[in-house]
Amino acid sequence: MSTVLDERRAAAQASPRPRLTRKPLRRGESRLHPLTWFFVLAVMAFSLVPFYWLINTSLKAGASLGAGELFPSQPTLDNYLVVFRNPDFFLALRNSVIIAVVTTAVALVFASFAAYALARLKMKRKALLLTLILSVTTFPAIAIAAPMFSIWREIGLYDTLIGLIIPKLTFALPLAIYTLTSFFREIPKELEESAYIDGASPFLAFRKVILPLAVPGLATTAILVFISVWNEFLLAVTLTTSPESRPVPVAIAFFNGTSEYDQPIGAISAASVLITIPLVILVLVCQKRIVAGMTAGAVKG
Amino acid sequence: MTSTQKLAERPRTFVYDRAERRLAVRMVAPSLILMFLVAAVPIGYAIWLSLHQYSVRQAGLSRFVGLDNYLDALSSGAWWSAFGQTFTFTAASVSLELVLGTAMALLLNMTFRGRGLLRTLVLLPYAILTVVSAITWQTMFEPTLGLVTTVLRGLGLPGGDIVWLGESGYAMAVIVLADVWKTAPFVALLVLAGLQVIPDEVYEAAELDGSTKWTTFVNITLPLLKPAIVLAAIFRTMDALRVFDLPFVLTRGANGTESMSMLAYTELRENRLVGEGSALSILTFLTVMAVSVIYIRFAGGNIRAAAQEKQ
């Protein structure tokens, strides 16, 4: 069953780039103009230098922090030890993982049904519904955070993980529906039609035929939703106050050094580096998926 | 085809049609109900809160004040300066992101050794936490240990003594820079996707007609890219208007960098003014929605055209 998709993917991958050949692909540009090389290097520098400086700062402690050396003369892992000795850092990691995993899972379950109906089934006012769903993703989070702050404090969900998961769904769910809808649209319509002819009900066709084919799309959507929930800051900072429920972005923003005399920027940089490593690995491994997901909804409308 | 066959087919498709529509409603309903509960209900409650004044000292004590909170906000300097600073930030960062993102997309669309590496590299800033990107640029512009200060001093250039985040114009510039660094790749990827669907024949024809590279770019590439660029502009604008993380970490809203969301947050959480904070949140919400309506009104045709082309 998956061969159709595999073939499409293989065809898509094979056609646009014969990599090692020196022949030009477009507009006869096989060799780059020196000026273009300059731009390539400039873009690389712009992307990488700030990362380098963050790492550089995280490796300095004490006097060398303020010395402004391009390369740390006495690199030290002290800042990393400070982070590892801070129990709040691990609490925040745990909180973030729970919040992001649960939110993503709930959003994906709800969204896979809704997106399938919006992409494939006959339905009234489909365009209006999609517009409505998309418009929710542009809501400023403060308009949700402000009332939630009051509601949660009244009913005791303030500063709890569940109290953070629920409002995060406000943005995770429409994002998931929107991205998944464009993935469902790509699956050939003939597959359901043949399932109908074999006597399957529309729901059985969805569950047995379409859903298995949509696994790559579901995975991509899960990655995008996970990153966006992980990254979200305003709801997190408004609705939590203690280390027991603070997720990573808030914990880092409020991170302190060991003592008041310490320049916390070293430790903050170290915590930032540590928290960025898994995301960098995720991007390296899932690069193609992430790009496909980010552009799928956009280009296909 | 005999008439009996036709008769036999008709009820069958009809039944499927109805079953399909019923299934569609059942599949969409849970999401719509959930979204109503987590989006519409809170915003409705925020409107309710914004019409009241709450005692800071005694919990639960409140009185109805009508639109007073809104009138207070709209006649205050704080709201309008946050409003202005948010739009300054949005205009500066979105236009820079569009220019830089399009340039990056054009680079990534060329074939050269190391293109794959470049694609990965530009994607990295997009994936990291916005808070971390703020901290990253904080280390770049720190007065003593920042790279910018270090380099300026090392080369004996002016500006080595500037406290970048401590001065009005510069603080905004750093925040814009941090935003451009993080999100120009997003624009680049959208534009790149638009570039890749332009057929090669268009360029071949232009070359045959003796068009120079620049005229080809201005007269052919850019118009064909317009839908992708407009879409990127919409996504980025809606996101920039609710900027919060960057000023929160870099300046806490000081030195001319208070955004609308920052102001509402400060009133609500730090000053514990529930009514006033809610009114400011609703004003922020209305501002963002107004901009999106304007966008759809003026650029909606573009998006629909792009969507139809793809179908």
Answer whether A93's CB lies under 8 Å from A248's CB: yes
CB-CB neighbors (< 8 A) of B140 in chain A: 50, 53
pLDDT digits (tens, 9 = 90+) for B165-221: 888 889 999 999 999 999 998 899 889 988 888 888 888 888 888 888 888 888 888
Query: For the residues of B161-197, what is the DSSP string, one character each?
Result: T--GGGSHHHHHHHHHHHHHHHHHHHHHHHHHHHHHT
Q: What residues have CB less than 8 Å from A105, skipping those under 6 apart?
A: none
What pLDDT does B149 receive?
84
Q: What is the mean pLDDT of chain B?
A: 85
Q: How far apart are CA A240 and CA A255, in angstroms?
A: 15
Average pLDDT of span B58-63: 74
CB-CB neighbors (< 8 A) of B139 in chain A: 50, 53-54, 56-57, 265, 269
Using a CB–CB cutoff of 8 Å, tell me whether B228 touches chain A.
yes
Q: How far apart are CA A43 and CA A48, in angstroms?
A: 9
Query: What does the radius of gyration of chain A's CA atoms come to, in whole angstroms?
Result: 24
CB-CB neighbors (< 8 A) of A28 in chain B: 207
pLDDT digits (tens, 9 = 90+) for B218-243: 888 888 898 889 889 988 999 999 99
Q: Rounded to two decimals, what is the model's pTM?
A: 0.85
SS3 of residue A175 by DSSP: helix
Average pLDDT of span B237-253: 92
Lowest mean pLDDT among A209-213, B201-205, B265-269, B303-307: B303-307
What pLDDT does A301 receive?
36
Phi, psi of A68 (to 5 degrees): 65, 55
For residue B164, give how far its alpha carbon lies from the nearest alpha carbon of chain A (Å): 16
Answer whether A210's CB lies under 8 Å from A192's CB: yes
Phi, psi of A115 (to 5 degrees): -65, -35
For residue B37, give how far its alpha carbon lies from the nearest alpha carbon of chain A (Å): 9
- Asked if the model's pLDDT at residue B14 lies above 60, the reply is no
Are B123 and A287 within 8 A, CB to CB? yes
For residue B257, give how far its alpha carbon lies from the nearest alpha carbon of chain A (Å): 16
Structure tokens at B166: 């401590």
CB-CB neighbors (< 8 A) of B105 in chain A: none
**Chain B, 69-108: which have a CB under 8 Å from a chain A CB?**
103-104, 107
Share of chain B above pLDDT 90, in %: 40
Q: How confident is residue B309, by pLDDT bands cut at 50, 70 and 90?
A: very low
CB-CB neighbors (< 8 A) of A202 in chain B: 16, 19-20, 23
Q: How far apart are CA A101 and CA A96, in angstroms?
A: 8
What pLDDT does B70 receive?
93
For an interface test with B, the pick among A83, A137, A142 (most B C-beta atoms closer than 10 Å) comes out as A142
Q: Which of B132, B147, B281 sits opposite A53 (nearest CB)?
A: B147
Q: Which of A36, A233, A269 sits opposite B130 (nearest CB)?
A: A233
Q: How far apart are CA B109 and CA B281, in angstroms?
A: 42
User: B274 to each of A248, B67, B81, B182, B288, how far by Cα in Å?
Assistant: 26, 14, 21, 33, 21
CB-CB neighbors (< 8 A) of B111 in chain A: 17, 24-26, 29-30
Q: How far apart are CA A252 and CA B123, in angstroms?
A: 22
Average pLDDT of span B248-255: 88
Instruction: Using CB atoms within 10 Å of the CB of residue B103, give its burial: 0 to 12 exposed, 13 to 18 middle, 19+ buried.
Output: middle
CB–CB contacts below 8 A, A to B? 311
Q: Which residue has the higher pLDDT, A199 or B75?
A: B75
What pLDDT tens digit does each residue of chain A (301 aa) get? 444 555 555 544 544 544 454 444 444 445 667 888 888 888 888 888 999 999 988 898 877 776 677 888 778 888 899 889 888 899 999 999 999 999 999 999 999 999 999 988 888 888 888 888 888 988 999 999 999 998 998 899 999 999 999 999 999 999 999 999 988 888 888 888 888 888 888 888 888 888 888 888 899 899 889 989 999 999 999 999 998 999 999 998 887 654 445 558 888 899 999 998 888 888 888 888 888 877 765 544 3
Using a CB–CB cutoff of 8 Å, tell me whether B249 touches chain A.
yes
Are B268 and A282 within 8 A, CB to CB? no
Are B35 and A124 within 8 A, CB to CB? no
HSE (CB half, 13 Å, CA atoms) of A6? 4
Other CB atoms within 10 A of residue B126 CB: 22
- Asked if the model's pLDDT at residue B280 lies above 90, the reply is yes
Residue type, A103: T
SS3 of residue A261 by DSSP: coil
SS3 of residue A192 by DSSP: helix
Are B21 and A142 within 8 A, CB to CB? no
Are A203 and B23 within 8 A, CB to CB? yes
Structure tokens at B302: 């573009």
What pLDDT does B258 receive?
92
Q: Which of A56, A113, A249 sits opposite B27 (nearest CB)?
A: A113
* ipTM score: 0.86
For an interface test with B, the pick among A73, A130, A138, A248 (most B C-beta atoms closer than 10 Å) comes out as A138
What pLDDT does A97 receive?
95
Answer whether B74's CB lies under 8 Å from A176's CB: no
